[in-house]
Amino acid sequence: MSHRPQTPLTAGLPGPWTAIAVVVALALYPLAMHAAGQDFYISLGSRVLIMALAASALNLALGYGGMISLGHAAFLGVGGYAVAVLAQHGVLAAGLALPVAVIAAAVAAFLIGAVSLRTRGVYFIMITLAFAQVFYYLAISLPRFGGDDGLPLAARSQIPGLALAGDLTFYYFVLFTVGLAFVLLYRLAASRFGRALVAVRENERRMAAIGYPVYRLRLVAFTLSGGLAGLAGALLANLNTGVTPHLLTWHQSGILIVMVILGGAGYFWGGLIGAALFLVLEEVISDHTEHWNLFLGLLLLFIVLAAPDGVMSLRQRLGALLDRKKVAPARETAP
Amino acid sequence: MTHIVLETDRLTKRFGGLAATDECSLEVVAGEIHALIGPNGAGKTTLLAQLAGELRPDSGRILFEGRDITRLPVHRRVAAGIARSFQITTLFPKFTVRENLALAVQARTGHSFDGFGVVADESDLDDGAEETAAQVGLSDVLDTVVGALSHGRQRQLELGMALACRPRLLLLDEPMAGTDPEEAQAMGRLILALRPALTCILVEHDMDVVFRLADRISVLVAGRVIATGPAETIRTDPQVIAAYLGAEPIASTESIR
């Protein structure tokens, strides 16, 4: 494989050792925090993992599929509200609540996608935003959904034999769930489906001309993306023991896009890196100043200027730079 | 008797008040290279887009191997056996030649909604890609990124992408566009070698190329076919000369032959 150049079809897919290293690091993280007496950072870790899933779900649509959705908060919200509404009706079993949340969000994504994917470019951005706003206003105007206050969760979802109330247990539950979702995302990205999706992003007309049902490919990807975002929403509702309409705001959709672009759209780890960078920076800066938004903004601006294709693209760019340095002296010595 | 592969029946497409295709009726015979010629704006590209399925005609029918395909979307027509090449090179410039061709092979062999098998070890895609690359003379650059290839070689791949779909009818939109004389010669040999296994519809501006390659020619003027026949007939057809060829181009093609 080494003689074949990296292209958008192969770039950004992790090797097995990277994946193992990431899993080990994430598994050790809460133990290290606990040992250091910084238990607060365990729940920050859970938040990072959950938002990493949400951002990676968006990355499937935005990065791999080239569908710039400004409405992914809707799927996050549908997943979260599904868990909260079920809990209100006495359904607390995670084994039921999480799948229902995923399916509800996937159905919402399918319906929104079926309409939105008939448009392109700015129109697609605006129509996904409009749909998400509909969900937002639905949530704040219906008393059954708690209006502006949202819905509190009396307790976290239940798994027989496991107490999710503790932050440490909950972290590992999140790590396990998000890990499974990442395995699914990896298989998708590396499969025939993933290749076709990237190729549609690169050249839609040619893809149709060689026999691909472009619309259907995009719709399937968008639906899967929405379903996974719904899973993130369900976990988030558990983390916060409740949902508020804030989960559904377009601000939330915007943050997801920022995370994806920051980490690297179309790179497998893009969502994880973007979410981690964003949330940790936010945490650290807000510890020091009230005006953390300003500093976070400046820092993000700097990162995006330094790595326009996201942090994950730096490796390739550095590689290309080193290659050029190696080639340059050779050229000088040539007669 | 000759077997008719493709037939259009009073096909019409209007853009506002302009009829780009005006009750156009055309018959393409199995195994022939059928050239479409005509002045700029005669509707050649519009007709080709309707045959490929990118544009919906306003009225009329398209029959492929006796089956009505007028309403079939592009990808279903590819599956039925019609593939096209583009006048403006339409490839995946960031992908390698192998990856470009493998995508076309993948479309034909199915499983594109298989989200679980990892592609890296799928040798059937590779084999298909290598076979087509050999056919169009790109075996030496299989692992080169397409954007780094010369224009002439990209045109070869443009043809290869259509061939990798294993069509029975090939729609070629100015395959020599922008190539130098040597590359055009090579492309001409490639296209001639496709006969008779494949039927081709060839849109081309260069009359030398058309008279050299085509078995039959249809002349399109203002969205209508005004004449169809072998090169000899078309060359001397008074209607065609008046509408399109004029006197001089004939002389020049005569000297080439």
Answer whether residue B127 shows pLDDT above 90.
no
Nearest-by-CA chain B residue for A206? B90
Q: Which residue has the tokens 């549908």?
A: A78
Taking an 8 Å cut-off on Cβ atoms, the answer to whether A7 and B106 are in contact is no
Residue in B84, B92, B126, B166 to test binding to A, most A beta-carbons within 10 Å: B92
Chain A contact present for B172, CB below 8 A: no
Q: Is residue A34 a part of any domain in this protein?
A: no
Residues B218-241 have a mean pLDDT of 90
Answer whether residue A1 shows pLDDT above 50.
no
Taking an 8 Å cut-off on Cβ atoms, the answer to whether A188 and B119 are in contact is no
Nearest-by-CA chain B residue for A191? B118
Within this chain, do residues B173 and B214 fall inside the same structural domain, yes or no?
A: yes
Q: Is residue A17 a part of any domain in this protein?
A: no
Answer whether residue B253 shows pLDDT above 60.
no
In chain B, pLDDT over 90 holds for what percent of residues? 70
Within this chain, do residues B62 and B174 fall inside the same structural domain, yes or no?
A: yes
Q: Is residue B72 a part of any domain in this protein?
A: yes
Taking an 8 Å cut-off on Cβ atoms, the answer to whether A212 and B112 are in contact is yes
Within this chain, do residues B209 and B138 fall inside the same structural domain, yes or no?
A: no
Taking an 8 Å cut-off on Cβ atoms, the answer to whether A211 and B54 are in contact is no
Residue A69 sits in a domain whose CATH number is 1.10.3470
Q: Exposed, middle or buried by CB within 10 Å (0-12, 13-18, 19+), for A34? A: middle
Answer whether residue B184 shows pLDDT above 60.
yes
User: Minimal Cα–Cα distance from B231 to chain A, Å?
Assistant: 30
pLDDT of amino acid B110? 73
User: Minimal Cα–Cα distance from A9 to chain B, Å?
Assistant: 7
Residues A10-39 have a mean pLDDT of 90
* Helix H or strand E encompassing A243: strand A242-243
Q: Which residue has the tokens 């084994």?
A: A95
Within this chain, do residues B174 and B208 fall inside the same structural domain, yes or no?
A: yes
Average pLDDT of chain A? 91
Q: What amino acid is encoded at B107 in this protein? A: A
Q: Residues A256, A72: contact at Cβ < 8 Å?
A: yes
Within this chain, do residues B137 and B157 fall inside the same structural domain, yes or no?
A: yes
- 3 state SS for chain B: CCCEEEEEEEEEEEECCEEEEEEEEEEEECCCEEEEECCCCCCHHHHHHHHHCCCCCCEEEEEECCEECCCCCHHHHHHHCEEEECCCCCCCCCCEHHHHHHHHHHHHHCCCCCCCCEHHHCHHHHHHHHHHHHHCCCHHHCCCEHHHCCHHHHHHHHHHHHHCCCCCEEEEECCCCCCCHHHHHHHHHHHHHHCCCCEEEEECCCHHHHHHHCCEEEEEECCEEEEEECHHHHHHCHHHHHHHHCCHHHHHHHHHC
Q: Which residue has the tokens 């050239």?
A: B35
User: Minimal Cα–Cα distance from B254 to chain A, Å?
Assistant: 37
Answer whether residue B256 shows pLDDT above 60.
no
* Helix H or strand E encompassing A242: strand A242-243
Spatial distance between the Cα atoms of A266 and A319, rounded to a whole number of angstroms: 18
Answer whether residue B250 shows pLDDT above 60.
no
Within this chain, do residues B73 and B178 fall inside the same structural domain, yes or no?
A: yes
Residue B213 sits in a domain whose CATH number is 3.40.50.300
Q: Is residue A249 a part of any domain in this protein?
A: yes
- CA angle centred on B165, ends B164 and B166, rounded to 5°: 85
Within this chain, do residues B126 and B141 fall inside the same structural domain, yes or no?
A: yes
Answer whether residue B121 shows pLDDT above 70.
no
Nearest-by-CA chain A residue for B166? A210
Chain B contact present for A1, CB below 8 A: yes
pLDDT of amino acid B40? 84
Within this chain, do residues B175 and B252 fall inside the same structural domain, yes or no?
A: yes
Residue in B95, B113, B145 closest to A220 by CB:
B113
Taking an 8 Å cut-off on Cβ atoms, the answer to whether A196 and B165 are in contact is no
Render pLDDT for A102-148 as a digit per residue (tens, 0 to 9).
Answer: 999 999 999 999 999 999 999 999 999 999 999 999 999 998 888 88
Residues B187-216 have a mean pLDDT of 91
Q: Residues A223, B148: contact at Cβ < 8 Å?
A: no
| Residues in a beta bridge with B11 | B24
Chain A contact present for B114, CB below 8 A: yes
DSSP string, A91-155: --BHHHHHHHHHHHHHHHHHHHHHHHTTS-HHHHHHHHHHHHHHHHHHHHH-GGGTGGG-EE-SS
Domain with B144, as residue range(s), is 90-166
Residues A86-98 have a mean pLDDT of 93
Answer whether residue B150 shows pLDDT above 80.
yes
Chain B contact present for A192, CB below 8 A: yes
Q: Is residue B189 a part of any domain in this protein?
A: no
Answer whether residue B249 shows pLDDT above 50.
no
Answer whether residue A333 shows pLDDT above 80.
no
Residues A192-207 have a mean pLDDT of 95
pLDDT of amino acid A76? 97
| Residue predicted with more confidence, A307 or A325 | A307
A101 confidence band (pLDDT: 50, 70, 90):
very high
Within this chain, do residues B135 and B256 fall inside the same structural domain, yes or no?
A: no
- Can you read off the two tokens belonging to residue A233? 């929403």
Please tell me the number of Cα atoms within 13 Å of A305 on its side-chain side.
6
Q: Is residue A307 a part of any domain in this protein?
A: yes
**Pairing outcome for strands A242-243 and A151-152:** antiparallel
Taking an 8 Å cut-off on Cβ atoms, the answer to whether A209 and B83 are in contact is yes
Radius of gyration from C-alpha coordinates of chain B: 19
Partner B, chain A 44-73, Cβ-Cβ below 8 Å: none
B188 confidence band (pLDDT: 50, 70, 90):
very high
Cα separation values, A25 from A13, A31, B176, Å: 19, 10, 56
Within this chain, do residues B105 and B118 fall inside the same structural domain, yes or no?
A: yes
Residue in B96, B103, B116 closest to A191 by CB:
B116
- Helix H segments across A191-308? 192-202, 204-209, 214-239, 250-263, 270-288, 292-306
Cα separation values, B213 from A66, A316, B110, B137, B245, Å: 41, 47, 34, 19, 17
Answer whether residue A162 shows pLDDT above 70.
yes
Residues B31-48 have a mean pLDDT of 91
User: Minimal Cα–Cα distance from B13 to chain A, Å?
Assistant: 21
Within this chain, do residues B159 and B176 fall inside the same structural domain, yes or no?
A: no
Q: Which residue has the tokens 């010369």?
A: B150
Q: Is residue B44 a part of any domain in this protein?
A: yes
Within this chain, do residues B178 and B212 fall inside the same structural domain, yes or no?
A: yes
Q: Which residue has the tokens 């973007």?
A: A274
Nearest-by-CA chain B residue for A212? B75
In chain A, pLDDT over 70 holds for what percent of residues? 96
In chain B, pLDDT over 70 holds for what percent of residues? 91
Q: Which residue has the tokens 């377009």?
A: A250
ipTM of the complex: 0.89
Q: Is residue A203 a part of any domain in this protein?
A: yes
**Least confident window among A78-87, A213-222, A315-324, B245-254:** B245-254
Taking an 8 Å cut-off on Cβ atoms, the answer to whether B106 and A195 are in contact is yes
Contacts of A214 in chain B (CB under 8 A): 75
Give the count of domains, chain A: 1
Radius of gyration from C-alpha coordinates of chain A: 21
Residues A45-51 have a mean pLDDT of 97
Chain A contact present for B126, CB below 8 A: no
Spatial distance between the Cα atoms of B3 and B168, rounded to a whole number of angstroms: 13
Chain A contact present for B83, CB below 8 A: yes
Q: Residues A137, A249: contact at Cβ < 8 Å?
A: no
pLDDT of amino acid A128? 97
Contacts of B86 in chain A (CB under 8 A): 205-206, 209
Q: Quick check: helix, strand or coil at residue A265?
A: coil
Domain with A312, as residue range(s), is 41-333
Residues B86-104 have a mean pLDDT of 95
Taking an 8 Å cut-off on Cβ atoms, the answer to whether A7 and B95 are in contact is yes
Contacts of B122 in chain A (CB under 8 A): 192
Q: Is residue B28 a part of any domain in this protein?
A: yes
Spatial distance between the Cα atoms of A203 and A290, rounded to a whole number of angstroms: 46
pLDDT of amino acid B218? 95
pLDDT of amino acid A144? 86
Spatial distance between the Cα atoms of B222 and A65, rounded to a whole number of angstroms: 40
Give the count of domains, chain B: 2
Span between the terminal Cα atoms of chain B, in Å: 30
Cα separation values, A162 from A43, A180, A237, Å: 17, 18, 18
Residue among B24, B17, B20 at smallest CA distance from B61: B24
pLDDT of amino acid B216? 95
- Can you read off the two tokens belonging to residue B125? 């895609």
pTM: 0.91
